[in-house]
Structure 1
């Protein structure tokens, strides 16, 4: 998943309000100079 920071306003929602919540564990994260953060998750 790549996250692009939003300073003002709102970003697009990628999950519906009824989306099932899955237990996830953060495996790694990488920050780029552009402000984008790459997060790698694994199901628990």
Structure 2
């Protein structure tokens, strides 16, 4: 099951995300999911 979330970003941050996604040939969803998964490591290491 997936849950939809909506976020608000300043235009500058959105442009960073778009540029990164284009450079990596990945979707915004893929990049955001990867970032969220990376947080697990930070939580466990504390």
Q: Would you call these one fold, judging by a TM-score over 0.5?
A: no
Structure with greater proportional strand content: 1
- Compute the TM-score of the two structures, normalised by the length of structure 1: 0.24
- Which structure is richer in relative contact order (CA contacts within 8 A, separation 6 or more)? 1
TM-score norm. by structure 2 comes to 0.24
Answer 1 or 2: which has greater helix percent. Answer: 2
